[in-house]
Chain A
Amino acid sequence: MRWGPRNGARGRSPGGVAALLVLADGRFPAGGHAHSGGAEAAVAAGRIHDAASLEAFCRGRLHTAGLTAAGLAAAAAAGLDPLALDDAADARTPSPALRGTARRLGRQLMRAARATWPSPELDALAAARPRGAHQPVVLGLTARAAALGPPDAAYAAGYEAVSGPATAAVRLLSLDPFDATAVLARLAPELDQVAARAADAARRALDEGPGALPAASAPLLDIAAEQHATWSVRLFAS
């Protein structure tokens, strides 16, 4: 799982695992708390109504949007050109509402990242995309700034893809928080697989370009996000 220097990735500094905990912590102040990852729309449509349906939703999101985000994040951590990855993220995000959300969250993460792990690469991306780059790209570059490797970035992106909806479901449904956390724990083995797949794709993308990265999508998430963006009364921004 570790990347050798010959792959163009930076090695982990001693204690690097702890940096991953900081980055993946749900309390990392990067704006994610105001977003439900599609859970609010799915709750309203009745598709999430209990722990089992939350698990099905999160599993779907993990293997689609989560895998795609993890690939982009791993590639950014591996040192691929973040602007090319930003274009690749646009190409993988058909919903204008979700593009807007991704750039907004990317901008917010950028602010937290530059304060937390200052790096010239983060500064350069912030200057090139002042309105925000796609969040997974910023996440990957943040991981790189924190001396984490591409698999770590993939883990952070994949975990975020499921932890966001799970937290939101607790607020939206008054779901038992133990049940929601158990959902995340049951998905852990699949998150391992997704992170490995994403990191593997990122390794290939170093030679083959961003086209080698996963492009899985969930049409229902895209459609629901477009609808959700038009609601006048909602708890979450997306």
Chain B
Amino acid sequence: MGSGKTATVAALCRALRDQLSLAVVTNDIYTREDAEFLLRNAVLPPERITAVETGACPHTAIRDDISANLEAVEELEEAVGPLDLILVESGGDNLTATFSKGLVDAQVFVIDVAGGDDIPRKGGPGVTTADLLVVNKTDLAPYVGSDLARMARDAEAQRGELPVAFTSLVAEDGVRPIADWVRARLAAWTAAPA
């Protein structure tokens, strides 16, 4: 919650939109606010952004019952043609949020340094199994007393080989580590389609 998921999505769209055909599905908890933030900031044309309503449970809509999200993805493809990358953002509600493999090919889990530097140590499905763990707002670490080295060590202990990206979106090109990871994943899929 408040870790910068929507800001990350916006930054990714800006970084990748010139090279890839992109779309975004947001899963808000009780408003269309995330979708509207992306629309207001014009990170993509409006027909490439859609919101799914989740009945107070975004984690249900991305994991247990993915119907509405699958439908949203289909509608986006109908509207704008083939897409290279669809970012499905979940509303922030808990550390156990995981995306169904029926909905996504890869999951990025975003936490921030201000939420407590013990989150990687505590683990949980998001931290442990996400294909990429993002630790955001590194610029705030000195102000909230978070130990980035400790977070990196704990993340490695939980995740083994799985990658971790430390980001500060206020920095120039701050989303670069995530954008590079996305490009690498896409290149791998293109080379060896599932």
Interface, chain A (partner B; CB < 8 A): 27, 29-36, 104, 107-109, 111-112, 168, 171-172, 232-237
Contacts and interface: CB of A to CB of B under 8 A. Distances in A.
Nearest to B30: A235
Nearest to B61: A34
A237 B72 CA distance: 14
B21 to A, nearest CB: 23
B56 A112 contact: no
B183 interface: no
Contacts of A111: 67, 70-71
B31 A35 contact: no
B54 interface: yes
A232 B68 contact: no
Contacts of A104: 71
Contact of A33 (B29, B30, B31, B65): B65
B67 A234 contact: no
Given A31-B67, A108-B67, 6 more contacts: A31-B65, A32-B65, A34-B53, A171-B57, A232-B32, A235-B55
B45 to A, nearest CB: 22
A107 to B, nearest CB: 6
B26 to A, nearest CB: 14
B64 interface: yes
A112 B32 CA distance: 26
B64 A234 contact: no
B64 A236 contact: no
A27 B65 CA distance: 8
B64 A27 contact: yes
A233 B31 contact: yes
B95 interface: no
B60 interface: yes
A79 to B, nearest CB: 26
A159 B87 CA distance: 36
Given A234-B30, A235-B30, A35 B70 contact: no
Interface in B110-125: none
A107 B71 contact: yes
B66 interface: yes
A30 B65 contact: yes
A145 B104 CA distance: 29
B56 A171 contact: yes
5 contacts: A29-B64, A29-B66, A104-B71, A111-B70, A236-B56
Contacts of A33: 55, 57, 60-61, 64-65
A34 B54 contact: yes
B55 A237 contact: yes
Nearest to A236: B55
Contacts of B57: 33-34, 171
A203 B136 CA distance: 62
